[in-house]
Amino acid sequence: MDEKLPAPPVTKTDDEWRALLGDESFHVLRRAGTERAFTGEFWDNHEAGEYVCKGCGELLFTSTTKFDSGCGWPSFYDSVDKSKVVERLDTSHGMRRIEVLCGSCHGHLGHVFPDGSKPTGLRYCINSASLGFRRK
């Protein structure tokens, strides 16, 4: 877990991010916001495909690692590659959690918890507003 992150490879100004993402995705990706449970576009998506960062297009997760955790957000038991996501300690809101960021643009994706599905036992709990989807 890296507490102090180096500058990400993909950078934009806030105005550029806002224009690209729209209000909700900007709030989630650039301000570490959270969408309401059971409201996001992908929490109940069962199509085969790839999930990418909505900010920069980096491939993050695939439908083969997605599972129904019942939490109301898309959940994955693994990322496509550990270099594609960055983890850091999040102590906001009086909690201790592990935040998950896109490895390329450092956009906030969600959090990872140790209560997930086999084979990893992890649950990457990811905001739909931070993701794009490419059907297979």
- 125 a catalytic residue: yes
Q: Which structure tokens are listed for 25?
A: 């995705």
Task: Name the residue among 16, 2, 22, 7 with its Cα closest to residue 130.
Answer: 22
* Residue 5, pLDDT above cutoff 90: no
Buried b / exposed e across 46-62, counting CB within 10 Å, b at 16+?
Answer: eeebbbbbbbbebbbbb
3-state secondary structure of 117: strand
Distances (CA, A) of 6 to 20, 40, 46, 106: 23, 30, 35, 10
Q: What is the pLDDT of residues 34-55, one digit of tens each?
A: 999 999 999 999 999 999 999 9
Residues 5, 61: Cα–Cα separation, whole Å: 22
Q: Which structure tokens are listed for 15?
A: 């105005």
Q: What is the pLDDT of residues 122-134, one digit of tens each?
A: 999 999 999 999 9
Helix ranges (DSSP H) in the chain: 14-21, 23-31
Model pTM score: 0.93
- Which structural domains are found in the chain, ordered by start? 14-135 (2.170.150.20)
Residues 133, 74: Cα–Cα separation, whole Å: 12
